[in-house]
Amino acid sequence: MANLKAIRNRIKSVQATRKITSAMRLVAAAKVRRAQMRVQASRPFTAAVMKMLQEAVGESAPVDLAEIPLLVTRPVKKVGIVVISSDRGLCGSYNPTVFREVLQRIAQLNKEGKEVCLTLIGLKAVSFFKSIKVEKVKTYTLLPAIPSVQEAKLIANEAAELFISGKVDAVEIIGTKFISMLASKVTNQKFLPVAVPPKIEGSILKPERLFEPSIMAVMEKELIPKYIENTVYQALLEAAAAELAARMQAMTNASNNARDLISSLSLVYNKARQASITQELLEIVGGAEALRG
């Protein structure tokens, strides 16, 4: 009976766990759809900002471009890496995959003789890299579940200040790109200096597009700041959507595993119960036979 009671308690425990994982799966599924819509809505704006910056750079002289700090390329001695992780767990391999990519990148840069410093976003990144001997310049934790432009602007400005001050010679963003509900991939994006794609042949600045007071002033004060802010914002949106998708998938797998475990435990329980009943019947029959004899 003690064994039967233990199995029965185990079944109840797994059933309770399954209720929790099923609820978390439904919540993540509802949130990930909205996150997907935000990602898809923001991508055209990012592309439009890049196109306008590309056209403006194409119309500017190299000498003038050299005066904009965020466009200046210099020999790389130290690299800053912005690591985007989550504040919460229960999202499968979402965080470990990002951390593995970061460790590989650090090892590669160290092999090239370059120093590395980290800007960590998310409690999981802070916890993971706490014991790893690498410089941490800034941490951002407990950010809103829905990324906002304000947080993106703060992170972008901090990274730009590191680059402009010369503390780092390049900045990279390692995060997760959302592909679909079932797929995502870790990306390493070159963030600073701003890398503008080469101008397309035959592409010219449209005559009706005017820059006041000048192209250089608009680039330095508006276009480039908007571009770096939107780059970080887009990365945060992509990571948030990928995290929710990973959590939904992880909770789906957990619910399915709990269901299978309940079935397995129920079978074991029924067999043990049947064996117990059979044993009791044999004892009764044996006792009756003893009294009769």
Residues catalogued as catalytic: 91
Exposure string (b/e) for 53-85, b if CB count within 10 Å is 16 or more?
Answer: bbbbbeebeeeeeeebbbbeeeeeebbbbbbbb
Count Cα neighbours of 236 within 13 Å in the Cβ-side half-sphere: 26
d(CA 231, CA 156): 8
Q: Which two tokens stand for residue 2?
A: 């003690």
Q: Which of 90, 17, 33 is nearest to 246 (CA)?
A: 90
Cα of 161 vs its chain's centroid, Å: 24
Q: Which of 54, 35, 92 is nearest to 237 (CA)?
A: 35
